[in-house]
Chains A and B, each alone.
Chain A
Amino acid sequence: MNVAVIGKSRINPFLTDQLKAKGFEAVLFEDIDSIKGFEGQKGKFLIKTNEEKIEAGYIILTQQAEWVSPKLSPKLACSPYSLLDISQKETGDFIKDHGRPVVIVLDYPAESAAVMTSIALEKGLALAAKKKRVFFLARFLRTAGEKLEKLYREARNSGITFIKYKKLSFDYNDHNGICTVKVWDDYGMISIDTGALIMGDSIVPGSKIDKIAELMRLRRDDTGFIGGDNTWIYPTSTNIKGIYVINNICGIPLRDDALSQIAYTISAIKKEMKEPASHRYVEVDASKCAFCYTCWRICPHAAMTPDFDKEEPVMKNLNKACNLCGICVSLCPAGAITITGNLDEKLEQVDSLSKTSDSKTLKILCCEKSAKIALDKIKDIYSRSFEQMDVSAVSCGGEVKAAKIISLLKQYEKVLVAVCVDDACKHFDGNKRAYKQVVRVCELLKAAGLDENRVQYIKVSHAMPRVMADTISEIL
């Protein structure tokens, strides 16, 4: 099985060795620009360059990030040392004035990146061990995780002064070459004349990211990195099955975090290879498909692809890339997409606690990953309420069709759509898609002179049973 390693990075040799050791054949594409075309799905990707087409079962991107050296205002003559540069130098070589303290600054608008934090703490500790006075300034310090916590404790014990600041200013004295750092926190301001100012570098998405992300249709987060801040994106995963990203800062030597990411990725690939094919699958009705590209655009997992081999081009589903979220089913303008074992059937398998067959007041459509779990937690306590409602679990809120919600109002007085919170939706947009459909339904109801409050929407996590209970009480 080929695994394509794409990108130029210091981890490539180690990664390819590890892949070989685990029985994979590593194919290297160091020059991202050489890749001209891409198609396929996990188990069978096709990567095209000008010279050839290479098949690979899995893909690992290794050029995710680059670093930008820190800069101060151009008016100041002093420039800070780059933490990443310094980390590779001998401990005290760069210090201009050994009589003065060293200042390490992590100036980020949010939590400092784990790798930058650990490098900064290690450097601080090395300096402190050489009896240097060290000030460690940060807006927010990330110390989550065993390793960082340990480093942080050691650093505190070594006598380094940590300041969590609100504001910083810098000044430079031409004559004696001393940089003055002023730090404000909640209590006051202190001024430090430093012999060496070291600042954390910015880690930014690499310059090649745009091209590869667009070619492979990889989802990026707000900061531009592939992958992102979603609880379902495991350490090196992406929105596409079989494609992984090692979050490595291009250019710095191999570190623990890169090593653990490599180990994790390879084991994730092995696990993915063993995943059994689902007995459910997405089907596109070629006679209805308008080939409008809507499903292609909205699929969060890039699992739809045009099929030009048929008499008339239609969309088809890549079943190994598909997560069966059902977003394409609910939003296909032609109603051409179905999942075998689809929503209609699911809605019939109703979770009803009532012994009687009286018509119920409330129908709840809930995401099986969040709301359903929360509901199950309150079943026993709120059994009276449960008698008035029918519950159906869906694999994703995005699966729910507007037409279905409206039809349910013929049987039920009210419908509640309960989905995951933002950043916790496994399919990224599923909960938002559900919200938009509910908004549309309410607008239609209102325009038709019906009560728009008959359909409600709520975002919950599996750990919010109380919120579910309160919402249901309010509705009933």
Chain B
Amino acid sequence: MIVAQQKPIEEIISSLEGYKNILIAACGTCVTVCMAGGEKEAMELAALLEVKNKENNRPVNIKVVTLKRQCDMEFFDDIADDVNNAQVILSMACGAGVQFIAERFSHKPVLPGLNTQFMGVTRDVGVWTEMCQGCGDCILEKTGGICPVTRCSKSNFNGPCGGSAGGKCEISPDIDCGWQLIYDRLKTLGRLDKLYEITEVRDWRSSRDGGPRKVEKKDMML
């Protein structure tokens, strides 16, 4: 899923400066699971803003709504009235959701509440790691199910660099060397022969490098 982190509170508060009617739009899917922009975080933020505004004696009206997703237009129908009543929307969705809500309600300023990070997985309660960068040309079959684009800091395609030591990346002792992981996995699978298949230089146009992408499923389009 998409993993994001809440923006620093100072940044959020400063961006909301001057607004008296705020709509906080939480999102009920990815950012709920990664505990960044779900209803829980939105309620905490709303409470915080209310306490702060009471301190400053500035009456501010805050409403929290939670949309199941902010990446499908239909979910915005229910909040149209709330949007009309607000001066600004603080969207707690991922970058895709923030932009989509802004597209739908183009006459209202929309602010992001999160910094979207990566496509990843849950490792433990409260811990998520990056697994996929959406390169558009998946070669996981060659590497035993471990992605060299994402898990190798240099995105090497044919083995580790000289900085790999003790199974760790030279960038940080907290980062596993992606190619060590690939080697170990292929060994477990009994397919070290895969390492002898050289992966050629890639055409990166399948990735973001080719410009913003669009996917069309023709059999669903009339």
Question: Which residues does chain B contribute within 8 Å of A190, judged by CB atoms?
Answer: none
**B-facing residues in A393-411 (Cβ within 8 Å):** 401-404, 406-407, 409-410
Is B143 interfacial (CB 8 A cutoff)? no
B contacts with A: majority SS: helix
Closest Cβ of chain A to B20, distance in Å, is: 18
**A-facing residues in B99-130 (Cβ within 8 Å):** 122, 125
**Cβ contact within 8 Å between B51 and A333:** no
Q: How far is the CA of A294 from the CA of B122 in the complex (A)?
A: 10
Which stretch of A61-69, A260-268, A446-454 is in the interface? Answer: A446-454
Closest Cβ of chain B to A343, distance in Å, is: 13
Is A384 interfacial (CB 8 A cutoff)? no
Select B48's contact among A332, A333, A406, beta carbons within 8 Å.
A406
**Cβ contact within 8 Å between A410 and B125:** no
Is B50 interfacial (CB 8 A cutoff)? yes
**Cβ contact within 8 Å between B47 and A292:** no
Q: How far is the CA of A449 from the CA of B13 in the complex (A)?
A: 10
Select A447's contact among B10, B28, B39, beta carbons within 8 Å.
B10
Question: Which residues does chain B contribute within 8 Å of A297, judged by CB atoms?
Answer: 125
Question: Which residues does chain A contribute within 8 Å of B51, judged by CB atoms?
Answer: 406-407, 409-410, 445, 448, 450
**A-facing residues in B9-37 (Cβ within 8 Å):** 9-10, 13, 28-29, 32-33, 35
Closest Cβ of chain A to B178, distance in Å, is: 27
Is A335 interfacial (CB 8 A cutoff)? yes
**Cβ contact within 8 Å between A448 and B35:** no
Question: Which residues does chain A contribute within 8 Å of B28, judged by CB atoms?
Answer: 288, 290, 334
Select A292's contact among B8, B32, B52, beta carbons within 8 Å.
B32
Select A333's contact among B33, B47, B50, B52, beta carbons within 8 Å.
B33
Task: Kindly supply a per-residue 1/0 record for chain B positions 38-77, scoring 1 wherever the CB is within 8 Å of any chain A CB and 0 otherwise.
Answer: 1111011011111110110000000000100000000000
Select B43's contact among A335, A445, A447, beta carbons within 8 Å.
A335
**Cβ contact within 8 Å between B8 and A447:** yes
Question: Which residues does chain A contribute within 8 Å of B44, judged by CB atoms?
Answer: 402-403, 406, 440, 444
**B-facing residues in A289-324 (Cβ within 8 Å):** 290, 292-294, 297-298
**B-facing residues in A244-271 (Cβ within 8 Å):** none
Closest Cβ of chain B to A400, distance in Å, is: 13
**Cβ contact within 8 Å between A292 and B33:** yes
**Cβ contact within 8 Å between A334 and B48:** no
Question: Contacts A298-B125, A409-B51, A449-B52 known; A290 to B33 CB distance under 8 Å?
Answer: yes
Question: Which residues does chain B contribute within 8 Å of A403, judged by CB atoms?
Answer: 40, 43-44, 46-47
Task: Kindly supply a per-residue 1/0 record for chain A positions 433-448, scoring 1 wherever the CB is within 8 Å of any chain B CB and 0 otherwise.
Answer: 0000000100011011
Question: Which residues does chain B contribute within 8 Å of A401, judged by CB atoms?
Answer: 40, 43
- Considering the complex, give the chain A residue whose CB is closest to the CB of B124: A297
Question: Can you list 22 A-B contacts with CB-CB less than 8 angstroms, sorted by A residue number?
Answer: A288-B39, A290-B29, A290-B38, A292-B122, A294-B33, A297-B125, A298-B125, A331-B40, A332-B40, A333-B40, A334-B39, A335-B43, A402-B44, A403-B43, A406-B48, A406-B51, A410-B51, A444-B48, A445-B51, A448-B51, A448-B52, A450-B52
Query: 5 closest pairs, A vs B, by CB?
Result: A447-B9, A406-B47, A403-B43, A335-B39, A292-B33
Further pairs besides A333-B35, A334-B39, A409-B51: 12, Cβ < 8 Å: A288-B28, A290-B29, A290-B32, A333-B32, A333-B39, A401-B40, A402-B44, A407-B47, A407-B51, A410-B51, A447-B10, A449-B52
